[in-house]
Chain A
Amino acid sequence: MEYMLVLFSDPKPLMTMKPAEMEQMAGAYYAFTQALQKEKAFLDSRRLKTAADATTVTQNGGKSKVVNGPYIETKEELAGYYLIDVPDLDAALKWAARCPTAGHGHVEVRPIWPMPG
């Protein structure tokens, strides 16, 4: 089954992080990605810029409404994702627990909607 590990974290601490800490964190994510690839569970992953750079659009009666910022303002914001392919939820939960984000934010595990064919 395919799952998305949806990563939520508070971007504030990142802004004041020292270069050494930053490097350490990048290393942790790199190692996690490597482990997923080694187990052939990795499909895709991206990190997002902070929600401060988000723009939200709605269409109503043919008119676009554009708003500065994310759809929902939260302390911990959508920060990125891992797309993985594993046998079942237990396997997905194990990977989620190993994801560095689980240590400082939250990881939501969502099954991917299966496409026919």
Chain B
Amino acid sequence: MVARRSYGKLVAFLASRTRDVAAAEDALAEAFASALAHWPERGVPDNPEAWLFAAARRKAIDAHRAIKRGENASAHLTLMAEELAAVSTGEIPDERLKLLFACAHPAIDQEMRAPLMLQTVLGFDAAAIASAFLVSPAAMSQRLVRAKSRIQGSGIPFRVPEREDLAERLPFVLDAIYAAYAEGWSDPMGTDASAREMAGEAIWLGRLAAMLLPDEAEALGLLALMLHSHARRAARRDASGAFVPLSEQDAGLWDGAMMSEAESLLRRAAAMNAIGRFQLEAAVQSAHAMRALRGEADWPAIVTLYDALWTMTGSPVIAINRAVAIAETQGAEAGLAALDALDPKSLTQYQPYWSARAHLLAKTGAVDGARIAYDQAIGLEIDPAVRRFLQRKKARLAH
């Protein structure tokens, strides 16, 4: 296990001066290979991280000697040799936060920020990341190479932004971690072990961010949100593998320890008086989690929270969820009215809009409209389990 947990720490420190992430990964891969060759016969060293670092640094120095000559190269080598001497005695400095900020830099293509973190901080290979993000391994591998070369080529710093820039940059890091998590569990087949593993690892990234930025309320909010969502993973499919929507899940299957950890994170975050999107979304999940305790979700709180999120983000996803929550507190007609108030242009290709519409129409008895809306939703859904669920719903409509 030294591998996964040490990987990012070693990559971050190896690359922090040179900003050459690809070279750091190559050197580390060779260090792991020589560990596999040496440790079984000579035993695991007292400080495996320092051993791996020293081995990787030596590989990097060798590689550097082979390609570069001249004054610049020797200055570089001196720097690396000094680092090596400093570390051989003590702990590896934790530069992972700098690596997270480099991966989520606005100069990196937004879609590549999460994959880049999964690879450089956690050591996932391009094929595993590609399968979670539904792209071909070759394309993912090429994009990762390009993104890494961009870190060095464009001069993206390995630095935690100063206070005045932190507020602007932190959301990029948190968004990327959340994207890594969301891709990990939206796993369309529900059978892909690497995708499920990725969700767990994204939570680990969230823990890392929350640990390294203990005073950032949104970092805690994000971790709380992921924990609340992950707590329900066992309830999302029934014994036959069929999709179970949140409202029909058996709350007894939710992971209580994970939910209470999320709650205490949210309380810590709330005390910091810096409300943000992730805390609000986590609070929505917390209000849903009330069902495990009281038998019913706290719908009035959910409506209030979605009001705030809608004002903050203007996101159509939020608007749809808000309409569904309004239907719970004020009836299906009110929910439909909230849906009707939205701009349909941005929503006609969006499955949740049609399934929410179908659900609310069915409740008001408008069966024909519901049937048409279910058809739209079924046509747009890519996850076969969710599609079957929608088909069952449609079949159950009264004739």
Tell me if A44 counts as interface (CB < 8 A to partner B). no
Given contacts A116-B70, A117-B70, A117-B71, contact A87 B154 (CB under 8 A): no
Residues of A within 8 A of B165 (CB): 90
Tell me if B38 counts as interface (CB < 8 A to partner A). no
Secondary structure class of chain B's binding surface, majority of residues: loop
Contacting pair B155 A111 (CB below 8 A)? yes
Contacting pair B157 A88 (CB below 8 A)? yes
Q: In whole angstroms, what is the CA distance A87 to B157 when docked?
A: 8
Residues of B within 8 A of A4 (CB): none
Q: In whole angstroms, what is the CA distance A1 to B66 when docked?
A: 24
Tell me if A3 counts as interface (CB < 8 A to partner B). yes
Residues of B within 8 A of A116 (CB): 70, 72
Q: In whole angstroms, what is the CA distance A3 to B153 when docked?
A: 11
Question: Can you list, as one digit per residue, whether each of B152-185 has a CB less than 8 Å from chain A (1) or not (0)?
Answer: 0111110101000100000000000000000000
Q: In whole angstroms, what is the CA distance A3 to B157 when docked?
A: 14
- Shortest distance in angstroms between A16's beta carbon and chain B's nearest beta carbon? 35
- Shortest distance in angstroms between B79's beta carbon and chain A's nearest beta carbon? 16
Q: In whole angstroms, what is the CA distance A1 to B154 when docked?
A: 9
Tell me if A48 counts as interface (CB < 8 A to partner B). no
Q: In whole angstroms, what is the CA distance A109 to B153 when docked?
A: 12
- Shortest distance in angstroms between A95's beta carbon and chain B's nearest beta carbon? 13
- Shortest distance in angstroms between A112's beta carbon and chain B's nearest beta carbon? 10
Contacting pair A88 B70 (CB below 8 A)? no
Q: Which residue of chain B is the closest to A86 with respect to CB atoms?
A: B155
In chain A, residues 81-101, which have Cβ atoms closer than 8 Å to a Cβ of chain B? 87-90, 92-93
In chain B, residues 62-112, which have Cβ atoms closer than 8 Å to a Cβ of chain A? 70-72, 105, 107
- Shortest distance in angstroms between B125's beta carbon and chain A's nearest beta carbon? 28
- Size of chain B's interface in residues, with CB distance under 8 A? 13
Residues of A within 8 A of B70 (CB): 116-117
Among candidates B72, B154, B159, residue contacting A111 with C-beta atoms closer than 8 Å: B154
Contacting pair A90 B71 (CB below 8 A)? no
Contacting pair A89 B156 (CB below 8 A)? yes
Secondary structure class of chain A's binding surface, majority of residues: mixed
Residues of A within 8 A of B154 (CB): 89, 109, 111
- Size of chain A's interface in residues, with CB distance under 8 A? 12
Q: In whole angstroms, what is the CA distance A22 to B70 when docked?
A: 49
Q: In whole angstroms, what is the CA distance A109 to B224 when docked?
A: 38
Give the most central of A89, A92, A111, A116: most B CB within 10 Å. A89
Contacting pair B71 A89 (CB below 8 A)? no
Contacting pair B157 A111 (CB below 8 A)? no
Contacting pair A111 B153 (CB below 8 A)? yes
- Shortest distance in angstroms between A106's beta carbon and chain B's nearest beta carbon? 15
Among candidates B71, B153, B155, B159, residue contacting A92 with C-beta atoms closer than 8 Å: B155
- Shortest distance in angstroms between B169's beta carbon and chain A's nearest beta carbon? 9
Among candidates B72, B155, B161, residue contacting A89 with C-beta atoms closer than 8 Å: B155
- Shortest distance in angstroms between A86's beta carbon and chain B's nearest beta carbon? 8
Q: In whole angstroms, what is the CA distance A111 to B107 when docked?
A: 13
- Shortest distance in angstroms between B67's beta carbon and chain A's nearest beta carbon? 12
Q: In whole angstroms, what is the CA distance A93 to B157 when docked?
A: 12
Residues of A within 8 A of B155 (CB): 1, 3, 88-89, 92, 111
Residues of A within 8 A of B161 (CB): 90
Contacting pair A90 B153 (CB below 8 A)? no
Give the most central of A90, A92, A111: most B CB within 10 Å. A90
Residues of B within 8 A of A90 (CB): 156-157, 159, 161, 165
Among candidates A3, A88, A117, residue contacting B156 with C-beta atoms closer than 8 Å: A88
Residues of B within 8 A of A88 (CB): 155-157, 159
Residues of B within 8 A of A93 (CB): 107
Residues of A within 8 A of B72 (CB): 116-117
- Shortest distance in angstroms between A61's beta carbon and chain B's nearest beta carbon? 34
- Shortest distance in angstroms between A109's beta carbon and chain B's nearest beta carbon? 8
Question: Can you list, as one digit per residue, whether each of A1-14 has a CB less than 8 Å from chain B (1) or not (0)?
Answer: 10100000000000
Listed A/B pairs (5) with beta-carbon separation below 8 Å: A87-B157, A90-B159, A92-B155, A111-B153, A116-B70
The chain B residues found within 8 Å of chain A, CB to CB, are 70-72, 105, 107, 153-157, 159, 161, 165
Task: Pick the 3 closest A-B CB pairs, nearest first.
Answer: A88-B157, A89-B155, A1-B155
